[in-house]
Amino acid sequence: MSLNLPPIGITVSLLLASNVFMTFAWYAHLRDLTHKPWIVAALISWGIALFEYLLQVPANRTGYTVMNLGQLKVLQEVITLSVFVPFAYFYMKEPLRLDFLWAGLCLLGAVYFIFRPHLQGILQS
């Protein structure tokens, strides 16, 4: 069975997976490797980040066929926060704070403004 996703679906799927790897590469060592020298944490993080780049580069290449650079970047930031909040709460055991909500609302504003020309075209048709 093949999934014939449109470019935006492929981009979002790859960016979601990429961000899981990125978030673990950037932050998991703060919980799991605090007893190791920083260079060990850095090398392990780089190893994890390799998988992030193997997903992120094709995601951005695919996304750039249907979005401009600003739209692609804002999409990336929304996905980053969507992955980071559950990671912080469930994996890092950080408390949920209203700051996450406010940051999310700011990102929704960014989504609106960066995709506004496209949204206006859809609403007018």
pLDDT tens sequence for the chain (125 residues): 456 899 999 999 999 999 999 999 999 999 999 999 999 999 999 999 999 999 999 999 999 999 999 999 999 999 998 999 999 999 999 999 999 889 889 988 988 888 887 766 666 66
- Cβ distance 88 to 94 under 8 Å? yes
CA–CA gap between residue 115 and residue 117 (Å, rounded): 6
pLDDT, position 50: 96
What does pTM read for this prediction?
0.84
User: Which of 18, 109, 98 is closest to 62 using CA atoms?
Assistant: 18
Burial class from Cβ neighbours inside 10 Å (0-12, 13-18, 19+) for residue 108 reads: exposed
Greatest C-alpha distance within the chain: 59
- Give the separation between CA 106 and CA 102, rounded to whole angstroms: 6
